[in-house]
Structures are given as structure tokens and as C-alpha cells.
Amino acid sequence: MKNIYKLIVLALVLIIFNACNNFNQQKTIKLAHGLDISHPVHKAMLFMGKELEKNSEGTLKLEIYPNQQLGSERQCLELLQIGSLDMTKVSAAVMENFSPNMKVLGLPFLFKNKEHTFNVLDGEVGKKLLDGGIKYWLKGLGYYDAGSRSFYTKEAPILKPENLEGLKIRVMESVTAMNMVSNLGGSPTPISSGELYTALQQGVVDGAENNPPTFYLSRHYEVCKYFSLDEHTTIPDVLIMSTHLWDKLSPKEQVWMQSAVDASVKYQRELWGKAETEALEAVEKAGVTVVRPEKPAFQEKVSKMYEDYKDNKEIYDLITKIKAVQ
């Protein structure tokens, strides 16, 4: 009888030990972003978390902080650099402040169409740009689709570049974005996404530019009743991990992580296409006038931005390679 009790006690000890051991082995990866939980990006991250747990058999877990809970995109990148945050999602336009060559993705009218965009991002050029952040403690893992950005305004639609003259237009913290709006005749005003709704309400800015799902989910359509689909830039979102964490992951864990990211990228791109259609239908139903201006006039105004990079061999080579991709 005593032996049975000893076996039971030993079994319980082993169960507790294994549970504690498994608990101690589990790594929680903290990911922060600035978007709403109904956004396709957040849904793709939830999918990524499930894939990661499945790949790692529960030893790696993703903990997501949406809605700028841990700061703006720029602040999240700074937290990654010092190792206080593990992962984030930022626009490539914001990333250019940390990895300079990323600015090439912010050039207006760079991509021919959606297929061309994905061929570039998933190919040699895209990988080179992702790796460019490593020396700044930022490991690029993949690109989410963020569609094309267009102008939305409060008082009148943007049908031609001249309509931007005298207007204060909110842009991301990106020199490229500011140069683009300046070249088109507007006054670029960098404001964080979390402060933009109030800035539009109070007249701090006259309009902004973004993709349809973000325009809808941020409820900016409540203030801005004109959405002009000039589709001036196609700037992807970038999934970034701190090298402080990446370098601590074992080769096997790195494969699990990258596999989960790749699966979520495919899933997010599928979600995005549906979200764009639904967003445009929703804002029109809410009383927004959606217009589709002729693009050549806009393209002509910003063409000099390409010439400005002729003296920057690295960027100009990237532009050439992007244009050569089929």
C-alpha cells in the first residue's frame, strides 16, 4: 500500500514538474500596433498567433496590443530598438526614418498594379529592404497589403493637383510623403494616426490621405465627406521583430516564426481585398462622395521626385530594379 502511495506522489510530482517545465519553456512574444481590432491587419495577426502556437507546439505565444496601447508606430520601433518590445507593424513610410532605403516604397506611382507590387515585395528587392533594417536592430519579416493611399478632404473633392493648393494635409512621419504633398501643391502636416480624428474636427488639417479600410475604420468619413481615389502611393505595412529577440531564438524557433508570418501575410492579403470593397461601399452609404480623378496630372507633378534620386546610386538602383520587375 505504501508503494502505491509513493507511486501516486511521484506521479503527481512529475506532472507538476513537467507542467512547470513547459511553462518555463514557453516564450511570449509581445506585438504592438496602432490599428483597430476589426482591421484586416489585426485579424491576420491573430491568425499568425495561432499558426505560431501550432508550429511551436505551444512553446511560442503571441501577445497582441492593438490601438496604440504601447505608443505610435515610431514609438514602437524605438521600443524594438532597445529591446523593450518584441514585434510591431509599421508602414514602410515610417520605417524609412529608421532604415533609409525603405523610402523607395513611398515614391508616388511606383507600382504598375497589385501583381507588380507583390512580385516586388516578395522578390529580391523586397527581401533586401527587409534585411536593411538589421543593422538598426530591426529584423523585417514580411509585408502586409496596405492598398493604395488617396486623399480625403472636408470641404471639396481633389480632382486635380491644383485643388490641394492652400490645404493642410495630414501625412505620416515620412520625408517622402511630405515631399509628395508639397510637390502636388499642398501643405504637409505630420500628425500621429491617434490624433488625426480630432485634428480634422478642429480644423488643424483640411484633409489626409490613406487607404479605404483605414479611412472607414478610423471613422474619418464622419468628418471628411470627399474621398478622391487618385491612388498616389502603394506603401505596404511591414512586420518587424527586434533583433534583440530574433537573435535569441533558436534556428528552429526562427523557422516557426517566419512560417507563421508567411502564412499570415497570405491570409491578410485575402482579407484586404474584401475590406477595400466593403469600406468603399460603407462610406458611400454614409454620405461620402467618392471620385476617381485622372492620374496623369498628379503623376506629372511628382515626376521630379524620381530625378532627385539620380545622385543617390543605391536608391536609384532600387527604382530601376523595381520598374524592371514583371
Q: What is the CATH number of the domain that holds 316?
A: 3.40.190.170
H-assigned helices in 57-123: 73-81, 92-95, 114-121
* Confidence tier at 193 by pLDDT (50, 70, 90): confident
User: Which of residues 21 and 299 earns the better pLDDT score?
Assistant: 299
Radius of gyration of the chain (CA): 23
Read off the pLDDT band of 15 (50, 70, 90): very low
Task: Collect all residues with Cβ–Cβ distance below 8 Å to 106 and sequence separation of at least 6.
Answer: 92, 93, 96, 174, 176, 177, 180, 233, 235
Q: Is residue 316 part of a domain?
A: yes
Residue 163 resides in a domain: yes
Quick check: is 58 in a domain?
no
pTM: 0.84
Number of compact structural domains in the chain: 1
CA pair distance 164, 181, nearest whole angstrom: 8
Task: Indicate whether 267 pLDDT > 70.
Answer: yes
d(CA 301, CA 62): 44
Amino acid 173: pLDDT? 86
3-state DSSP percent of the chain in helix, strand and coil, to 5: 55, 20, 30
- From CA 81, how far away is CA 138, in angstroms rounded? 7
Side chain identity, residue 268: Q
Structural domain includes residue 134: no
Question: Is residue 68 in a domain?
Answer: no
Residue type for 236, please?
Answer: P
pLDDT at position 3 is: 43
Q: Stretch 132-160: mean pLDDT, rounded? A: 97
The CA distances from residue 100 to 92, 97, 255, in Å, are 10, 6, 27
Collapsing DSSP states into helix, strand and coil, what is residue 302? helix
Residue 317: CB atoms within 10 A of its CB come to: 14
CB contact at 8 A, 92 and 102: yes
Stretch (H or E) spanning 139: strand 138-144
CA distances to 26, 27, 141 from 57, rounded to whole Å, are 10, 12, 21
Alpha-carbon span 99 to 206, nearest angstrom: 30
Mean pLDDT calculated for residue range 105-123: 95
Domain enclosing residue 189, as ranges: 149-234+280-324
Neighbour-count burial for 219-229, b at 16+ CB within 10 Å, e otherwise: ebbebbbbbbb
DSSP symbols for 170-231: EE-S-HHHHHHHHHTT-EEEE--HHHHHHHHHTTS-SEEEE-HHHHHHTTGGGT--EEEEEE
Does any domain span residue 320?
yes
Nearest Cα to 228, choosing from 174, 310, 163, 139?
163
The overall average pLDDT reported for the chain is 91
Q: Are strands 226-233 and 149-153 parallel, antiparallel or unpaired?
A: antiparallel
Strands 226-233 and 289-291, by their bridges, are parallel
- Residue 160 in any domain: the answer is yes
pLDDT reported for residue 10: 30
d(CA 222, CA 81): 37
Beta bridge partners of 241: 87, 139
Does 183 fall in a domain?
yes
- Whether the Cβ atoms of residue 102 and residue 129 lie closer than 8 Å to each other: yes
Give pLDDT tens digits for 55-89.
999 999 999 999 999 999 999 999 999 999 999 99
For residues 27-45, average pLDDT: 94
